[in-house]
Amino acid sequence: MAGKADAESESGQHVPPARTFRATLEAGTFAVTAEIGPPRGASLQPVAEKAAALRGWVDAVNITDNQSASVRLSSLAGSLAAAQAGVEPIMQLTCRDRNRIALQSELLSAAALGVRNVLIMTGDHPRHGDHADATPVFDLDSSQLLRVARVMRDQHTLMSGGTVKPAPDWLLGAVESPPSRPEDPAEAGTATRRLAAKIDAGAQFVQTQFVFDVPSFAAWMRQLEDLGLTRRCRVLAGVGPVRSLRALAHLSRIPGVHVPEAITERLSRASHESFRAEGEKLCSELIAALADVPGVAGVHVMAIGAEHAIPAILRGAGLPPRPVPA
* Residue spans of the chain under pLDDT 50: 1-16
The rounded distance, in Å, linking the Cα atoms of 119 and 159 is 19
pLDDT, tens only, 110-122: 999 999 999 999 9
Distance of CA 190 to the CA centre of its chain: 21
pLDDT, residue 6, reads: 37
- State the pLDDT at residue 11: 41
Q: What residues form DSSP beta bridges with 237?
A: 299
Pairing between β-strand 31-36 and β-strand 60-63 as defined by DSSP bridges:
parallel
For residue 294, the model assigns a pLDDT of 97
> What's the pLDDT score for residue 304?
85
- Give pLDDT, residue 18: 62
Please name the residues in contact with 161: beta carbons below 8 A apart, sequence gap of 6 or more: none
Architecture of domain 21-316 in this structure = Alpha-Beta Barrel (3.20)
Within 10 Å of residue 9's Cβ, how many Cβ atoms?
A: 14
Residue 224 CA to residue 168 CA, distance in Å, equals: 29
What is the per-residue pLDDT for 254? 87
- SS3 for the chain is CCCCCCCECCCCCECCCCCCHHHHHHHCCCEEEEEECCCCCCCCHHHHHHHHHHCCCCCEEEECCCHHHCCCCCHHHHHHHHHHCCCCEEEEEECCCCCHHHHHHHHHHHHHCCCCEEEEECCCCHHHCCCCCCCCCCCCCHHHHHHHHHHHHHCCECCCCCECCCCCCCEEEEEECCCCCCCCHHHHHHHHHHHHHHHHHCCCEEEEEECCCHHHHHHHHHHHHHCCHHHHCEEEEEECCCCCHHHHHHHHHCCCCCCCHHHHHHHHHCCCCCHHHHHHHHHHHHHHHHCCCCCEEEEEECCCCCHHHHHHHHHHCCCCCCCCCC
Are 176 and 203 in contact, with CB atoms under 8 Å apart? no
Per-domain residue ranges for the chain?
A: 21-316
Contact 102, 90 (CB under 8 A): no
- Single out the residue of 36, 70, 55 nearest to residue 301, CA to CA: 36
- CB within 8 Å of 170: residues ≥ 6 apart: 107, 110, 111, 116, 117, 118, 149, 153
Give the C-alpha separation, 161 to 179, whole Å. 38
pLDDT at 2: 32
Cα radius of gyration rounded to whole Å, the chain: 19
